Amino acid sequence: MNALTTSAAGLRRAARNHIRTPRLETPFHERLAALSEVNDWYSWAGYKAPHSLFDGELEYFAIRSTAALFDISPMVKYRITGPDAERYLNRLTLRDVRKLAVGRVQYTAWCDDHGHVLDDGTLFRLGEADFRLCCQERHLPWLLDSAFGFSVDIREETEEIAGLALQGPTSYAVLRDAGFAGVEALKPFAVVSFQHEGGEVTISRTGFTGDLGYELFVPRAKALSLWDRLWSAGELHAIRAIGYGALNQARIEAGFIVANTDFVTAEGALRADRERMPDEIGLDWLVDPDKPNFNGRKAILDARRNQTLKYILVGLEIEGNIPAEHAIVYHRKKHEAGIVTAGIWSPTTKRNIAIASLERPYGSKFTEDLWVEIYAMRELQYQKLMKRAKIVPRPFVKLARRTATPPGLK
């Protein structure tokens, strides 16, 4: 066997081994695997995550009726500290970080110099010069390049920090009975620290369900003991572990968007016409034009002034009860207007709802006579259905308990 043949064989082995490379396991995987009845896993940022654990429909109703526990450890997390941390993040993101108080969380987004959205996420201010940035995609090289001239330290802490989302009407009762005294005073988008097993857990009143809920972050070594603490306290409150399928239903009802699902990130887009500005994905309200210069500011404001925005993200209500995910949207049944990025039959509203990206002037000037083309399986054949759609406000579901402080005691 010559050197060339040996090299080729080595490359083939490397390719096979790459395919076989197992997905990483989150700090809570041991508990999730023990609860899993359907072995329905998917890959989230390289981690093995459950799409469902026992029954997607019942998992959804755990969110809306009792308490649901969802592993958010794969969410990408960056710790940003240093004397210039506030100034750096204010230069980076759309909202004014100077207005973000210690112990508060800010939903935000960030763009490239052309005003195209790179990602959206949550920014936690844990101290005067101590921030945690959580998002969908990895951005460390870009964050480091953007830090030139700023006195900041940036590091990824995704692996070392475990995260749980506790959502639903009895979520507060679970925390109360788990011994987190004073958590009832936590207002929406507030964050506070508690002692746990000789360490610290931070709890924020945030979530991705549009319901009463919290997110908890703890060092990896304390992850299982935190799970067990919540699970034990939650038994009397019908706590259930859930997968992404149920969470996705709830987030659509809440009108929340997901990167690379409802829009393509600027770094992930293969074609220029796939990129989106904040105003084109419903994030115009995040842009603070009065703060100092930030990435994409000129491009965003120029697009507004010159009226060159090309797309608009809308909520749709569709006749019938067949979900329209990925369906094409038409105007007057013949002019292609856009595409449904996410759609479900909403169990809470009893409506067929969707989030759609439309090409202007559809959705802005032309808002009537919209239709979606759905292909439904009927007796082993796909049947084409044209269903009328109307633009409706988001969120589709708005629950008073999400913001009530103190939360209802159940």
Tens-digit pLDDT profile for residues 168-193: 999 999 999 999 999 999 999 999 99
Q: Is the pLDDT of residue 45 over 60?
A: yes
What is residue 4's predicted lDDT score, i.e. its pLDDT?
44
How many CB atoms sit inside 10 A of residue 35's CB? 14
Cβ contact 20:12 at 8 Å: no
Residue 372 domain flag: yes
Residue 406 domain flag: no
Are residues 296 and 147 part of one domain? no
Cβ contact 239:172 at 8 Å: no
**Sign of the Cα pseudo-torsion (113, 117, 119, 120, in order):** positive
- Phi, psi torsion values for 354, nearest 5 degrees: -160, 160
Are residues 139 and 240 part of one domain? no
Residue 321 domain flag: yes
Tens-digit pLDDT profile for residues 160-172: 999 999 999 999 9
Domain count, the chain: 3
What is residue 306's predicted lDDT score, i.e. its pLDDT?
97
Tens-digit pLDDT profile for residues 313-349: 999 999 999 999 999 999 999 999 999 999 999 999 9
Residue 41 domain flag: yes
Q: Is the pLDDT of residue 219 over 50?
A: yes
Q: Is the pLDDT of residue 6 over 60?
A: no
Domain end point (choices 224, 253, 282): 253
How many Cα atoms within 13 Å fall on the side-chain side of residue 367? 12
Q: Is the pLDDT of residue 271 over 70?
A: yes
Residue 221 domain flag: yes
Domain with 90 in it: what CATH number? 3.30.70.1400
Cα–Cα dist 86/100, whole Å? 9
What is residue 379's predicted lDDT score, i.e. its pLDDT?
86
Are residues 346 and 210 part of one domain? no
Domain end point (choices 156, 178, 198): 156
267 is in an annotated binding site: no
Cα–Cα dist 165/75, whole Å? 11
Strand 311-318 to 76-81 pairing: unpaired
What is residue 410's predicted lDDT score, i.e. its pLDDT?
46
What is residue 409's predicted lDDT score, i.e. its pLDDT?
55
Are residues 170 and 45 part of one domain? yes
Tens-digit pLDDT profile for residues 301-313: 999 999 999 999 9
Are residues 119 and 84 part of one domain? yes
Domain with 187 in it: what CATH number? 3.30.1360.120
Strand 24-25 to 47-52 pairing: parallel
Cβ contact 397:348 at 8 Å: yes
Residue 267 domain flag: no
How many Cα atoms within 13 Å fall on the side-chain side of residue 295? 25
Domain with 320 in it: what CATH number? 2.40.30.110
Q: Is the pLDDT of residue 15 over 70?
A: no
Are residues 228 and 165 part of one domain? yes
Domain end point (choices 156, 172, 191): 156
If we measure between CA atoms, which residue out of 201, 187, 205, 193 comes closest to residue 229? 201
Percent of the chain whose pLDDT exceeds 70: 94
Domain ranges, residue 373:
272-392
Are residues 177 and 148 part of one domain? no
Residue 264 domain flag: no
Are residues 106 and 31 part of one domain? no
Give 97 or 6, the one with higher predicted confidence. Answer: 97
Cα–Cα dist 131/50, whole Å? 29
Are residues 167 and 118 part of one domain? no
Residue 402 domain flag: no
Are residues 177 and 199 part of one domain? yes
Query: Which whole number is the average pLDDT over 351-373?
Result: 97
Are residues 174 and 68 part of one domain? yes
- Phi, psi torsion values for 313, nearest 5 degrees: -100, 130
Are residues 110 and 178 part of one domain? no
